[in-house]
C-alpha cells in the first residue's frame, strides 16, 4: 500500500502476531498485514502464541476468539500485560455481543469474519494514528461498515452465497501468493 501522506505505512518496521487455527484464514491475515508493511508471524495454536508473546511482544496482535480449548481473549489480556501499547484485534465468525464487549473492554478491536483486507487494516491504521490515553493505552476501535450487516443478513439467508464468497477470497489469496512468488 502506498501511503504518501505519511511517507510510508505507519507500521513499517513493526511486528505482528496472527493467531488463527484455519490455514486459509491465517494466510489471508498474514498476507494482508504483510502488505501493510508489518513483519508478521502466524501460528494456529494458543500455546505457541503465548510463548511468542512472552519472548517477543509484537506491536500488533490479531487473534481468533475460538482457539480450541482456549480463548483468544486470554491472549489479548496477556498481550496487554506484556505490552500496554500493543494494538490488539479479535476476530470471530460467530456474532457474540458478550465476547465483543469483553474484547472492547480489554482494549481490543473486534472484527467479524469474513472480512476484506481493508476491513482488517482500517481499524489498525485508526489505532496507529490515535493519541494514547494518559496511561499510555489506546482505546479499541470498532469499525462498523454500513454494508456489513446487510451483507451478513443476505449471506445467512443464502448459504450458497457464503460459499461463493469463500471461493472468491481463496482465489484472491492464491493470486496474491502467485504474484509474490513470481517476484522472487
Residue 55 reports pLDDT greater than 60: yes
Q: What is the pLDDT of residue 3?
A: 43
Is pLDDT larger for residue 81 or for residue 151?
Answer: 81
Same domain, 68 and 157: no
Q: Which of 32-36, 166-170, 179-183 has the lowest mean pLDDT?
A: 166-170
Mean pLDDT estimate for the chain = 77
Same domain, 159 and 173: yes
Same domain, 40 and 65: yes
Q: Which of 15-19, 28-32, 165-169 has the lowest mean pLDDT?
A: 165-169
Same domain, 42 and 84: yes
Boundary (domain end) residue, out of 126, 143, 160: 143
Same domain, 94 and 166: no
Same domain, 61 and 80: yes
Q: What is the pLDDT of residue 154?
A: 57
In a domain, 92, yes or no: yes
Tell the residue number behind the cell numbers 481499524, with chain if given. 123
Complete DSSP assignment for 111-165: EESS--HHHHHHHHHHHHHSPP-TTS---------HHHHHHHHHHHH-HHHHHHH
Q: Which of 28-37, 115-124, 130-139 has the lowest mean pLDDT?
A: 130-139
CATH of the domain at 55: 3.40.50.2300
Q: What is the pLDDT of residue 137?
A: 55
Same domain, 32 and 60: yes
**How many domains are there within the chain?**
2
Q: Which of 69-78, 120-129, 146-155 has the lowest mean pLDDT?
A: 146-155
Expressed as residue numbers, the domain containing 35 is 15-143
Residues 6+ apart with CB under 8 A from 61: 16, 17, 19, 53, 75, 76, 79, 86, 87, 88, 89
In a domain, 5, yes or no: no
Same domain, 169 and 134: no
Q: The pTM is what?
A: 0.68
Q: What is the pLDDT of residue 10?
A: 57
Amino acid at each position: 500500500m502506498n501511503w504518501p501522506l505519511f511517507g510510508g505505512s505507519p507500521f513499517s518496521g513493526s511486528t505482528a502476531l496472527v493467531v488463527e487455527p484455519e490455514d486459509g484464514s491465517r494466510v489471508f491475515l498474514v498476507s494482508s498485514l504483510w502488505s501493510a508493511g508489518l513483519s508478521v508471524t502466524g501460528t494456529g495454536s494458543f500455546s505457541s502464541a503465548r510463548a511468542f508473546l512472552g519472548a517477543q511482544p509484537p506491536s500488533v496482535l490479531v487473534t481468533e476468539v475460538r482457539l480450541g480449548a482456549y480463548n483468544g481473549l486470554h491472549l489479548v489480556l496477556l498481550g496487554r500485560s506484556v505490552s500496554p501499547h500493543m494494538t490488539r484485534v479479535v476476530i470471530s465468525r460467530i456474532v457474540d455481543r458478550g465476547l465483543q464487549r469483553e474484547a472492547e473492554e480489554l482494549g481490543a478491536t473486534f472484527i467479524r469474519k469474513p472480512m476484506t483486507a481493508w476491513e482488517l487494516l482500517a481499524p489498525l491504521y485508526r489505532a496507529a494514528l490515535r493519541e494514547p490515553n494518559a496511561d499510555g493505552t489506546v482505546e479499541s476501535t470498532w469499525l462498523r461498515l454500513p454494508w456489513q450487516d446487510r451483507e451478513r443478513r443476505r449471506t445467512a439467508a443464502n448459504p450458497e452465497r457464503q460459499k461463493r464468497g469463500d471461493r472468491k477470497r481463496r482465489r484472491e489469496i492464491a493470486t496474491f501468493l502467485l504474484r509474490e512468488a513470481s517476484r522472487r
